[in-house]
């Protein structure tokens, strides 16, 4: 039987990137749907906070479980499973008539979302040349901005006219892409599922915390926690924060769309810099930019300042995400690479549980947005200190087999 020629890194980037785009589209639409449900179901901030947090609980479980599974049965199979899980779940959630059913479905959707991201970044990382790997992974992450932009456009044009249910049905179209992946997506050249099957799941997870990996695992776990805690606390609440600041739903969606546009230059600048200055320094610079932008966004008292700080927040925060996704798989050898990426990302998703909860709880107590966003600023600074102390540079290093 004639072997298929290997897929070029550019084509692999496009294939995996589309899955990433659908993932981002679902998370992005959720932030707008939370604002719509606030009006449609008359939800309180206490109830609203659980929608984002349950989604993050599912993402934590999915990142951990599917990361382990990807080292056992292969990256390609798990990528397809997670894509189907969150897209079909999103379609079903359009028919939810109450908060409880919606929350259960958001947990299952979150599992698919959380599982897909570390597996996709591991797959693309293993198929990329060392001198281009960082740039390619940041460009993969840039599909997240395209997905968020698409989510903002769908939310702006569809939700006010046709309802949030129609927006969720649109996200279910990603299920058809999974069928295309069956033939188009190659397995990772470094994937060794048979070697992972010889280990128990417990031993597989324990390997990530072995003596030679405990430092990067601890560092990545803390950084992922702080970054995800801040991101989901801030970005899932952006449309709702705009509403609480006195803007209408249409105005809120317009302004968040403008902020979302700034994500693309954030990714592209990080992709250009990562192979020149290295992962560690660029990650620190972009995180410091995130911390400063978060503080000024919370303190903004005019529309101009709100938009400027929001755009800078999008620029720096999403650029940092791209670098972090490039940095993470480079810390581990092939047999535990997806497990390590999934485990540390899962710790991060725990942060994603507490971020939205914090905003909802503090907003219900009339705590100022200046104080709320200062908390996120402090969390990002903790991540910066952790990288400075425990991080090592992995620029253009060969991935260990």
The rounded distance, in Å, linking the Cα atoms of 43 and 1 is 59
The rounded distance, in Å, linking the Cα atoms of 262 and 145 is 9
Residue 256's domain spans which residues? 9-180+204-390
Whether 194 maps to a domain, the answer reads no
Q: What is the CATH number of the domain that holds 216?
A: 1.20.1250.20
Q: How many domains does the chain have?
A: 1
- Parts of the chain with a pLDDT under 50: 1-3, 193-194, 196
247-271 b/e (C-beta count within 10 Å ≥ 16 → b): bebeebbebbbebbebbbbbbbbbb
The rounded distance, in Å, linking the Cα atoms of 65 and 341 is 11
What is the DSSP annotation of 302-328? SHHHHHHHHHHHHHHHHHHHHHHHHHT
Whether 189 maps to a domain, the answer reads no
Whether 325 maps to a domain, the answer reads yes
The rounded distance, in Å, linking the Cα atoms of 359 and 233 is 6
CB atoms within 10 A of CB 323: 28
pLDDT of residue 78: 87
pLDDT of residue 153: 86
Whether 195 maps to a domain, the answer reads no
Q: For helices 130-157 and 99-126, what crossing angle results, to 10°? A: 150
Whether 3 maps to a domain, the answer reads no
Whether 215 maps to a domain, the answer reads yes
If we measure between CA atoms, which residue out of 201, 318, 205 comes closest to residue 259?
Answer: 318
Burial (CB count within 10 angstroms: exposed 0-12, middle 13-18, buried 19+), residue 348: buried
Whether 371 maps to a domain, the answer reads yes
The rounded distance, in Å, linking the Cα atoms of 123 and 120 is 5
Whether 395 maps to a domain, the answer reads no
User: For 236-292, what is each residue's pLDDT tens digit?
Assistant: 777 777 777 777 777 777 887 888 888 889 989 998 998 888 889 999 999 999 999
Q: How far is CA 110 from CA 63, 92, 243, 360, in A?
A: 9, 14, 25, 19
CB atoms within 10 A of CB 288: 16
Asked if 351 and 204 count as a contact pair (C-beta separation under 8 A), the reply is no
Both tokens of residue 332?
Answer: 């581990």
pLDDT of residue 1: 40
If we measure between CA atoms, which residue out of 357, 393, 360 comes closest to residue 281?
Answer: 393
């Amino acid at each position: 039987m004639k072997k298929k020629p290997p897929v070029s890194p550019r084509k692999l980037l496009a294939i995996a990137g589309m899955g990433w785009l659908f993932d981002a589209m679902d998370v992005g639409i959720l932030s707008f749907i939370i604002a719509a449900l606030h009006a449609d179901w008359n939800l309180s901030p206490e109830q609203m906070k659980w929608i984002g947090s349950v989604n993050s609980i599912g993402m934590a479980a999915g990142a951990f479980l599917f990361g382990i599974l990807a080292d056992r049965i292969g990256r390609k199979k798990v990528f397809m499973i997670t894509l189907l899980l969150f897209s079909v779940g999103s379609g079903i959630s359009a028919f939810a008539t109450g908060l409880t059913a919606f929350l259960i479905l958001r947990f299952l959707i979150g599992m698919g979302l959380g599982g897909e991201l570390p597996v996709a970044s591991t797959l693309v990382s293993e198929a990329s040349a060392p001198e281009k790997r960082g740039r390619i992974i940041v460009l993969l992450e840039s599909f997240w901005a395209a997905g968020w932009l698409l989510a903002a456009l769908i939310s702006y044009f569809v939700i006010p006219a046709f309802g949030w249910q129609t927006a969720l049905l649109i996200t279910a179209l990603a299920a058809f892409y999974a069928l295309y992946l069956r033939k188009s997506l190659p397995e990772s050249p470094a994937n060794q599922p048979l070697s992972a099957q010889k280990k128990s799941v417990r031993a597989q997870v324990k390997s990530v915390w072995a003596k030679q990996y405990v430092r990067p695992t601890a560092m990545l776990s803390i950084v992922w926690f702080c970054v995800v805690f801040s991101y989901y606390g801030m970005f899932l609440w952006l449309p709702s924060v705009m509403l609480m600041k006195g803007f209408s739903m249409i105005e809120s969606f317009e302004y968040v769309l403008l902020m979302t546009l700034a994500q693309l230059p954030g990714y592209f600048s990080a992709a250009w810099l990562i192979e020149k200055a290295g992962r560690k320094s660029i990650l620190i610079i972009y995180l410091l930019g995130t911390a400063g932008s978060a503080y000024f966004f919370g303190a903004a008292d005019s529309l101009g300042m709100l938009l400027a700080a929001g755009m800078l927040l999008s620029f720096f925060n999403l650029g940092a995400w791209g670098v972090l996704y490039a940095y993470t798989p480079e810390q581990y050898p092939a047999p535990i690479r997806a497990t390590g990426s999934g485990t540390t990302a899962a710790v991060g998703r725990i942060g994603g549980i507490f971020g939205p909860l914090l905003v909802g709880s503090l907003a219900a107590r009339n705590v100022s947005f200046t104080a709320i966003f200062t908390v996120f600023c402090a969390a990002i600074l903790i991540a910066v200190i952790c990288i400075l102390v425990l991080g090592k540079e992995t620029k253009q290093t060969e991935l260990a087999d």
